[in-house]
Amino acid sequence: MTPDSLRWVKSSYSNNGGQCIEWAPEHAAAAGEVLVRDSKHPHGPVLTLTPEAFADLVTLAKQTHS
């Protein structure tokens, strides 16, 4: 499965001037790894995270956003 064939979902924090990430939830559920990319560069690099590391990233985003 290539990144281009996945369904990507934008972060709920995407209303902050276009600085946001996307992730592929179906891939995460099937493969047990979370793929993350920059929404401004959809054909750029993809970061692969463990579910725990992704949860930490979300926690950090929430803390930074509030």
pLDDT at position 31 is: 96
First-to-last C-alpha distance (Å) of the chain: 36
- Is residue 4 predicted with pLDDT exceeding 80? no
Residue 2, judged by CB atoms within 10 A of its CB (0-12, 13-18, 19+), counts as exposed
Three-class DSSP category at 55: helix
Between 62 and 46, name the one with better pLDDT: 46
pLDDT band at 62; cut points 50, 70, 90? confident
Query: CA nearest 46: which of 58, 56, 33, 55?
Result: 33
Structure tokens at 24: 């592929």
pLDDT at position 1 is: 62
pLDDT in tens, 8-61: 998 766 565 566 889 999 999 999 999 999 988 989 999 999 999 999 988 987
Domain extent listing, the chain = 3-65
